[in-house]
């Protein structure tokens, strides 16, 4: 296993730990080359939605132009399924393309723990986020 594999395992473990800790609410955050940045879910209905806000959103946006930009935004689905919902798609993209030039990771979690996770990337031909990995 090389350093890249080790980092990916560490990122997956950190995101899963955040999802378990936030259950039954959705967690959210983002991933940079340096690791996972946990954010506070400021959504009005945190059991069924996520929203990164305030200083945390500003740091994510400012970081996009910096030396260690966000590579992916993540959040959990407390119903145990890892899918890119219609609400996720509406938040992540506009008619002109993705809101931020990052992938999205969705973690399905239940009271028993993480069930599955999936990564979604922007597809120019599809004009939407499509699943590129599942674990």
Task: Render each residue's pLDDT in the chain as its tens digit; 135 residues.
Answer: 566 788 899 999 999 999 999 999 999 999 999 999 999 999 999 999 999 999 999 999 999 999 999 999 999 999 989 999 999 999 999 988 999 999 999 999 999 999 999 999 999 999 999 999 999
DSSP lists the bridge partners of residue 20 as none
What does the pLDDT read at residue 38? 98
> How do beta strands 28-32 and 72-77 pair?
antiparallel
- On whether the CB atoms of residues 30 and 39 are closer than 8 A, the answer is yes
- Residue 112, phi then psi, degrees to nearest 5: -85, -10
Instruction: Write down all domains in the chain, each with its CATH number in brackets.
Output: 3-134 (3.40.140.10)
Q: Which of 113, 133, 103, 131 is nearest to 13 (CA)?
A: 113
């Amino acid at each position: 296993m090389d350093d890249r594999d080790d980092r990916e395992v560490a990122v997956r473990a950190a995101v899963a730990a955040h999802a378990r800790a936030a259950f039954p609410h959705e967690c959210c955050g983002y991933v940079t080359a340096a690791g996972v940045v946990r954010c506070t879910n400021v959504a009005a209905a945190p059991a069924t939605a996520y929203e990164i806000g305030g200083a945390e959103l500003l740091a994510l946006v400012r970081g996009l132009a910096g030396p260690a930009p966000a590579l992916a935004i993540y959040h959990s689905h407390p119903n145990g399924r890892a899918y890119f919902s219609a609400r996720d798609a509406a938040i992540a993209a506009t008619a002109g393309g993705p809101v931020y030039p990052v992938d999205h990771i969705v973690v399905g979690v239940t009271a028993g723990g993480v069930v599955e996770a999936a990564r979604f990337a922007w597809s120019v031909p599809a004009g939407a986020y499509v699943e590129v990995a599942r674990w």
